[in-house]
């Protein structure tokens, strides 16, 4: 697979993170929250049905000439490879036929060329008596990298076409969605004759091996007259005034801001303009937070943001909330009020800071993805997943917890970095405030579903008592990434970090650093489940008899190994692919020559009857 498109250019990141995001700008949600344009996924209460087709007769449709790879089909059962990767089509009339573009068959062949395929309704529609028109259909869809999906409309009997892109908010590799789609197409074809309709799939790849996608399945096409009054709450939010639009699932009470934006993105699906549009928010927990905001007129087939900045008085606890929108014609009790409310849950904690809200989201809202060492073929070792945390008060960072998938394998390895935003955006990991030792994931970690890494530096060693004293890291006011670097030994032991896809987040809130040869920062747009835990650990004293010391590190030529336990030990030096470069038996100390190695990262493992310890070694010449 290929990495996602959206690359954040370094100088843009620098401007966003100016002074670690210590800005007095009030960010508007329009700048950050994804607004669904017209592909709204709600059941509709409509009036007259103008046209209806269930794909029960293949002769009703014209399928474009076969592309080099990819053609539509009208079938009565879901292709087996689509079922395997997406599940079966679940529309109410699937048994009598539906359309499918099956991209999986070409993806599995790993030999994919540019695809462009359409399926067109043969009927020509006369809508001259219908100034307001909606298009409805049922779909199942799963996104992959470069594929795009369109409804295309013509008002000159198919001579020219206007494209409406669908599913553009769907995240690559998210689970398949089965839904009813409604599109207000009045501005395109309302009051026109000679109207034609078709569906089109394209893929545009710069790499022939990864241009295709999963599949797009369509059934039960309807052209209807829309209801007069139907506004929809496309998305709602609650986020801090200076958070840049990021909605944190768990916020420590020390990091709560004084004011929060509460609002909605409201779409007018109805055929007439709506006035007196109001967004009412209510959040109940240890305290109660309410808001009421009145917006301007929302024209038919258009979207507006309605939000306000509200003082808050949070206390520690879980909060359940809703934001409901109403208008002069769409109020509680009306026939189209089923899509006017959006739910939002979050938590105010004593010491846990998480961008993700996994475990707290409303029922049926939670959407979970993951990224890891097997997400891309050339990123099996060295992929970095990071989550951003702004601090408005100084904190002591105790540890970081990263949630992993059940498919993660024991013996995979990670390194934790704590670094400021500019260093992360620039890939300057050597500037980290804290870098952990290489951590080996255990079977118990996989069973738990998470790994915990302590954040503490060695501040002294007592040679008499053979002990080391450790101190947690203090983070000042500013912005920091908790970043996990993943190693799988060339996909031998893969590891994946959970990614909360429930709430669309600003692109920089969680991101990845892609390893060489690209060495590039990419946005994520979701929320990696990498959480900070605040509060000092007490008596961080460690017996160092079994402590492995590797120095100097980084090294140009020689590196010293010390393990003061008087046990015969075996040293193994490997490159990042797992290839063994050197084996040695030693007791307590050893000096090895690295001068014949290329620049890069190597792993040094020491094993004896007491333990197995692995350290990362950087060779820099």
DSSP state of 374: T
How far is Cα 242 from Cα 264, in angstroms, rounded to an integer?
18
Element (H, E) at 178: strand 177-184
Q: Is 486 exposed, middle or buried (0-12, 13-18, 19+ CB in 10 A)?
A: buried
In the CATH hierarchy, which top-level class contains the domain 49-224? mainly beta
CA distances from 258 to 240, 251, 313, 402 (A): 8, 13, 8, 29
| Residue 58 pLDDT | 94
Per-residue pLDDT, averaged over 352-369, amounts to 94
More confident residue, 144 or 527: 527
Check if 49-224 and 547-619 are the same fold. Answer: no
How far is Cα 68 from Cα 48, in angstroms, rounded to an integer?
41
Interior CA angle at 174 toward 169 and 178, to 5°? 80
How far is Cα 521 from Cα 183, in angstroms, rounded to an integer?
36
**Of 78, 362, 64, which Cα lies nearest the Cα of 199?**
64
Q: How confident is the model at residue 598 (pLDDT cuts 50, 70, 90)?
A: confident
Chosen CATH of 32-36+229-350 out of 2.170.8.10, 3.40.50.1110, 2.60.40.10, 3.90.76.10:
2.60.40.10
pTM to 2 decimal places: 0.72
How far is Cα 447 from Cα 449, in angstroms, rounded to an integer?
5
Most confidently modeled range among 115-129, 201-215, 248-262, 375-389: 248-262
**Cβ atoms of residues 114 and 68 within 8 Å:** yes
Rounded to the nearest integer, the mean pLDDT of the chain is 84
Q: Would you state the structure tokens that stand for residue 76, as one six-digit string?
A: 């009565």
Q: Is 122 exposed, middle or buried (0-12, 13-18, 19+ CB in 10 A)?
A: exposed
Per-residue pLDDT, averaged over 268-275, amounts to 90
Q: Where are the domains of the chain?
A: 32-36+229-350, 49-224, 368-534, 547-619
**Do β-strands 478-487 and 381-391 pair in parallel, antiparallel, or remain unpaired?**
antiparallel
Q: Would you state the structure tokens that stand for residue 527, as one six-digit string?
A: 């929320």
Secondary structure of residue 218 in the 3-state scheme: strand
| Residue 27 pLDDT | 25
DSSP state of 554: S
> Worst-scoring range by mean pLDDT, 224-228, 257-261, 290-294, 385-389?
224-228
Element (H, E) at 384: strand 381-391
**Do β-strands 395-403 and 467-475 pair in parallel, antiparallel, or remain unpaired?**
antiparallel
Q: Would you state the structure tokens that stand for residue 11, as one six-digit string?
A: 């100088």
| Helix residue ranges per DSSP H, 18-127 | 80-86, 104-109
| Residue 265 pLDDT | 95
Q: Regarding the domain delimited by 547-619, which CATH topology (the fold level of the hierarchy) does it fall under? A: Immunoglobulin-like (2.60.40)
Per-residue pLDDT, averaged over 294-307, amounts to 91
Q: What is the pLDDT of residues 487-526, one digit of tens each?
A: 999 999 999 999 999 998 998 899 999 887 767 888 888 9
Q: Is 484 exposed, middle or buried (0-12, 13-18, 19+ CB in 10 A)?
A: buried
Per-residue pLDDT, averaged over 103-111, amounts to 69
> What percent of the chain shows pLDDT beyond 70?
84
Q: How confident is the model at residue 342 (pLDDT cuts 50, 70, 90)?
A: very high
Q: Regarding the domain delimited by 368-534, which CATH topology (the fold level of the hierarchy) does it fall under? A: Jelly Rolls (2.60.120)
Q: How confident is the model at residue 226 (pLDDT cuts 50, 70, 90)?
A: confident
Q: How many CA atoms lie within 13 A of 318 on its CB side?
A: 8
**Of 564, 287, 521, 550, which Cα lies nearest the Cα of 426?**
521
**Cβ atoms of residues 40 and 167 within 8 Å:** no
Q: Taking 60 as the threshold, does the pLDDT of residue 43 lie above it? A: no
Per-residue pLDDT, averaged over 281-307, amounts to 94
More confident residue, 24 or 154: 154
Q: Taking 80 as the threshold, does the pLDDT of residue 47 lie above it? A: no
Q: How many CA atoms lie within 13 A of 550 on its CB side?
A: 23
Q: What is the pLDDT of residues 440-486, one digit of tens each?
A: 999 999 999 999 998 987 666 555 555 556 778 999 999 999 999 99
| Residue 26 pLDDT | 26
Q: Taking 80 as the threshold, does the pLDDT of residue 127 lie above it? A: yes
Alpha-carbon torsion (565, 566, 568, 571), positive or negative? positive
**Cβ atoms of residues 79 and 94 within 8 Å:** no
How far is Cα 295 from Cα 278, in angstroms, rounded to an integer?
6
Q: What is the pLDDT of residues 567-590, one digit of tens each?
A: 888 888 988 777 889 999 998 889
Q: Taking 50 as the threshold, does the pLDDT of residue 7 lie above it? A: no
| Residue 217 pLDDT | 96
């Amino acid at each position: 697979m290929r990495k996602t498109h959206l690359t954040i250019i370094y100088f843009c990141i620098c401007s966003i993170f100016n002074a670690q995001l210590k800005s007095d700008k009030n960010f508007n949600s329009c700048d950050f929250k994804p607004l669904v344009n017209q592909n709204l996924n709600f059941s509709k209460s409509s009036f007259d049905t103008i046209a209806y087709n269930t794909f029960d007769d293949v002769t009703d449709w014209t399928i474009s000439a076969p592309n080099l790879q990819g053609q539509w089909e009208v079938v009565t059962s879901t292709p087996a490879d689509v079922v395997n990767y997406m599940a079966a089509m679940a529309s109410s009339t699937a048994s009598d036929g539906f359309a499918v573009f099956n991209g999986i068959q070409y993806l599995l062949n790993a030999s994919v060329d540019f695809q462009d395929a359409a399926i067109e309704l043969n009927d020509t529609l006369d809508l001259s008596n219908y100034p307001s028109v909606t298009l409805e259909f049922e779909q199942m869809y799963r996104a992959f990298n470069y594929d795009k999906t369109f409804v295309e409309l013509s008002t000159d009997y198919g001579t020219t076409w206007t494209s409406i892109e669908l599913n553009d908010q769907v995240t690559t590799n998210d689970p398949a969605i089965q839904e009813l789609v409604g599109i207000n197409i009045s501005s395109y074809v309302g009051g026109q004759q000679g109207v034609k309709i078709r569906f089109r799939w394209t893929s545009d790849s710069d790499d022939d091996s990864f241009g295709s996608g999963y599949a797009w399945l369509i059934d039960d096409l309807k052209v209807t007259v829309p209801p007069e009054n139907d506004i929809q709450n496309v998305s709602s939010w609650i986020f801090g005034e200076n958070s840049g639009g990021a909605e944190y699932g768990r916020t420590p009470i020390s990091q709560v801001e004084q004011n929060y934006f509460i609002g909605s993105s409201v779409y007018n699906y109805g055929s007439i303009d709506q006035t007196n549009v109001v967004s009412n928010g209510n959040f109940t927990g240890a305290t109660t937070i309410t808001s009421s905001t009145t917006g301007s007129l929302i024209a038919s087939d258009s979207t507006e943001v309605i939000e306000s900045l509200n003082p808050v008085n949070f206390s520690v606890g879980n909060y359940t909330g809703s934001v409901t929108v109403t208008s002069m014609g769409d109020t509680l009790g009306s026939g189209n009020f089923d899509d006017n409310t959006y739910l939002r849950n979050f938590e105010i904690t004593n010491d846990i800071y998480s961008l993700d809200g996994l475990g707290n989201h409303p029922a049926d809202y939670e959407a979970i993805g993951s990224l890891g060492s097997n997400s891309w073929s050339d990123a099996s070792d060295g992929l970095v997943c990071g989550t951003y945390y702004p601090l408005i008060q100084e904190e002591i960072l105790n540890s970081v917890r990263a949630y992993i998938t059940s498919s993660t394998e024991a013996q995979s390895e990670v390194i934790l970095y704590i670094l400021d935003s500019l260093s992360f955006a620039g890939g300057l990991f050597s500037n980290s405030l804290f870098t952990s030792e290489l951590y080996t994931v255990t079977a118990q970690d996989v069973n738990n579903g998470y790994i915990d890494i302590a954040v503490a530096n060695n501040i002294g060693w007592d040679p008499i008592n053979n002990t080391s004293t450790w101190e947690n890291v203090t983070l000042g006011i500013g912005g920091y990434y908790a970043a996990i670097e993943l190693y799988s030994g060339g996909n031998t032991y893969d590891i994946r970090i959970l990614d909360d896809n429930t709430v669309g987040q600003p692109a920089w809130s969680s991101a990845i650093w892609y390893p060489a040869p690209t060495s590039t920062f990419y946005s994520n747009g979701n929320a990696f489940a990498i959480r900070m835990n605040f509060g000092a650990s007490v008596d961080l004293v460690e017996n160092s008899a079994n402590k492995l010391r590797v120095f100097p590190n980084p090294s140009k030529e020689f590196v010293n190994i010390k393990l003061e336990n008087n046990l015969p030990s075996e040293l193994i030096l490997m490159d990042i692919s797992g290839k063994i470069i050197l084996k040695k038996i030693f007791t307590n100390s050893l000096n090895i020559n690295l001068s014949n190695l290329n620049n890069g990262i190597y792993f040094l493992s020491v094993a004896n009857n007491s333990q197995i310890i692995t350290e990362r070694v950087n060779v820099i010449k």
